[in-house]
Amino acid sequence: MPINKLKKILAEFEKTDAEELEYEDGDLRICIKKGKTHTQSTKPDDASDYILSPLIGNYYNPAQPIKEGQRVNEGQVLCIIESMKIMNKICAPADMIIKKINFRDGDAVECKSKLFEVDYL
């Protein structure tokens, strides 16, 4: 398959709302899935507030890592959870202060792991 044809297919796929693409051409088969941004939709009810992992995978710092004590804005990327070869951005659901970071780059996380302890502003 010529690379230009593949680039055209990928460009058209990016323009759609589709989450997955499967393409076959002779003995060539390509499967592509789009990553999603995950945010926690509600503030936890317990005494301390946490940002929980929405899925199982490996924890990674974003390009500009956050630090304990740092103020972050709603929508800011806090970390990335790699699951099934898809990089899922975990974003701040509101303006907050990061009190504690519970994982390091490359650590495995479970679904509902307490990624960050936070104070909502």
Asked if 28 and 41 sit in the same domain, the reply is no
> What range does the domain containing 102 cover?
37-120
Model-wide pTM > 0.85: no
Check whether 9 has a pLDDT greater than 90: no
- Domain shared by 29 and 72, yes or no: no
Count of domains observed in the chain: 2
**What value, to the nearest 5°, has the Cα angle with vertex 80 and ends 106 and 23?**
105
Q: Per residue, what are the HEC states of 97-116?
A: EEEEECCCCCCEECCCCEEE
CATH number of residue 63's parent domain: 2.40.50.100
Provide the token pair at 39. 């945010």
Does 89 lie in the same domain as 69?
yes
Give yes or no: residues 20 and 65 share one domain.
no
Q: Are residues 87 and 64 in the same domain?
A: yes
Give pLDDT tens digits for 67-112. 999 999 999 999 999 998 899 999 998 899 999 999 999 999 999 9
